Amino acid sequence: MASATQLGTSEQEGLYPIRHVCAETGINDVTLRAWERRYGLIRPMRTPKGHRLYSADDIARIKRILELLDQGIPVSQVHRVLASENATVELPSSPHTESEAPANHNRTGSSKPGIAPHTLDPLAEALYASAAELDVSQLERTYARLVMRHGWNGVHESAFLDVYRRLREESRHSPEGEVRLAVFAAWATAAFSDQLRAAIRACEGPSIPCLVLGGGHQQVGGMLLQLACARRGLKTLPLFDATSPQALEALVQRLSAPAVIIHGSSQLMRSPELPRVEAILSRPGPRCYLAGSAALELAQMDHQREIEVLPGAPLEAAELLSRQLPH
């Protein structure tokens, strides 16, 4: 099976690297990146490795920006001019009632440059549709395109998590929903495992034991947290079973680990693994970071070590960990 982030050559047709854009437009790459980061004028696609790719529409937009600058318009005002031009060009060609137009806009979302991705983005809808059709190959291709368009962080801050939440909600109401969630979770876990192995190879510093408790789709959030950590240079050691306190203590000493992470869903509170988690928390040891929907309940238990509850969003949790732990 191909990696979840691989794209065939045919899918990259019509996309150009930054060196091509600079050669065609005459702009230097430093300025082009500043337009993107500081002013939001250009939103290029990204490969899974983070390299920028520009479409023909992006190149046309860059040329128009250069024209406006030549006319004496400050770069800080260019976005407003472009937005005004787009509003003029995109007037509806067929009649709609005032109530119809906003509803249609909200359903389809927007893929214009400068617009952040969200769950109504066509690619996010395609990600859900691929999961709904139980087509893993299509799911992989759609995911790869989504990462290219919005970047890894953009996908996993919004679109991926919202699709995952939608599938979890549907799984509570029908057997078909359960199957969709199971297929999506199996694909996501495999995809994140592949990415995590590659990302960890580039990490330095001590490994942080990370207990990801719960099988099936309950592992997805924990895997995403670890992958987000690795992308920030923080190495974790995934553990998918609650070890005994003695075994975890031996592992911490072996790794010289400054902390431990426990990620658990709310189902952990009714799981046979709960007594071992309670035993781990009740023993002295390095700081323990708690993540997942069970984190707040675990934090209320008696503990003999320093406890910190991580933010619910995996990428926010990884950002906090990367600031506090050595790597």
Predicted confidence at residue 248, as pLDDT, reads 93
- Residue in the structure block whose two tokens are 């001019």: 81
**Per-residue pLDDT for 116 more than 70?**
no
Question: Average pLDDT of 68-83?
Answer: 78
Which pLDDT band, with edges at 50, 70 and 90, does 122 fall under? low
> Is the domain covering 203-324 a CATH 3.30.1540.10 domain?
no
Q: What is the dihedral of CA 320, 325, 326, 327, to 10 degrees?
A: -50
The CATH classification of domain 9-114, taken from the options 1.10.1060.10, 1.10.1660.10, 3.40.50.2000, 3.40.120.10: 1.10.1660.10
Q: Is the pTM of this model over 0.85?
A: no
Q: Cα–Cα–Cα angle for 29, 315, 237, nearest 5°? A: 110
Can you list the positions of beta strands (E) in 28-87? 45-46, 52-55
Predicted confidence at residue 32, as pLDDT, reads 87
Question: Average pLDDT of 237-249?
Answer: 90
Q: How do residues 276-296 score in pLDDT, each as one tens digit? A: 999 999 999 999 999 988 898
Q: Which of 10-14, 112-116, 295-299 has the highest mean pLDDT?
A: 295-299
Which pLDDT band, with edges at 50, 70 and 90, does 111 fall under? very low
Residue extents of the structural domains in the chain: 9-114, 203-324
What mean pLDDT value characterizes the chain? Answer: 81
